[in-house]
Structure 1
């Protein structure tokens, strides 16, 4: 199972959605929604980037969540994504302090 397939199934299950319902809410044709989501979860096909963005929106997760290999990082992505703007700023400030830098690192 790929990390994408694993995270997709985790997020869908946590949201309490069936494969069909998630597919429909992601903009997939209702006639093929269940089959396509099943193929994605079973690593038989990989959705294109637009479909990934639509699935992420339907699940209220950041698209990057689907690719995080580390479980703690994936959890942080979810928590950060769901914070309001002031909360995100607080977390970024704390992360910079913990990292020991006085300004945001350039990447």
Structure 2
């Protein structure tokens, strides 16, 4: 079994988001406030599933990687993609989308 296969769901999503952002493990760790001497090892342990970070650290990782924290925990790939898309929407677009989902379409949003 490879490291990628044995990694936790959180770890796989973290590694993917970090690579997408093109941030090395050590730089990401330092960016979220980890000691520079242990930052790379800590991020590696999160990515491989050896440890899962406390939610406070997950929030810092999400902010640094510009993804919603919920993305790290989505079991379903389609839902994970929706969470990423939601994170890219403006507040106004989120409001319009919520109305659509509630069955109350906003004509200005539909006509875009």
Shorter-normalised TM-score: what interval?
0.7 to 0.9
1:50 aligns with 2:49: no
The 2-side partners of 1:42 and 1:90 are apart by 38
Query: Where does residue 18 of structure 1 map in the other structure?
Result: 24
What is the total number of aligned residue pairs between the two structures?
A: 98
Question: Could you list the runs of 5+ residues in structure 2 that have no partner in the other structure?
Answer: 1-6, 105-112
Tell me by how many angstroms 1:8 deviates.
Answer: 0.5
Query: Where does residue 85 of structure 2 map in the other structure?
Result: 79
Post-superposition Cα deviations, 1:74-101, rounded to whole Å, max 9, x if no partner, equal 1111111121111111211222229xxx
The 1-side partners of 2:85 and 2:23 are apart by 20
Q: Which of 97, 100, 104 lines up with 1:91 in the alignment?
A: 97
**TM value normalised by structure 2:** 0.82
Question: Could you list the runs of 5+ residues in structure 1 that have no partner in the other structure?
Answer: 99-107
**TM value normalised by structure 1:** 0.85
Post-superposition Cα deviations, 1:52-91, rounded to whole Å, max 9, x if no partner, equal 1111110111111100011111111111112111111121
The 1-side partners of 2:12 and 2:86 are apart by 20
RMSD across aligned positions (CA): 1.3
Map of 1:5-44 to 2, 5 A cutoff?
A: 5-44=11-50
Runs (4 or more) in structure 1 with deviation over 2 Å come to none
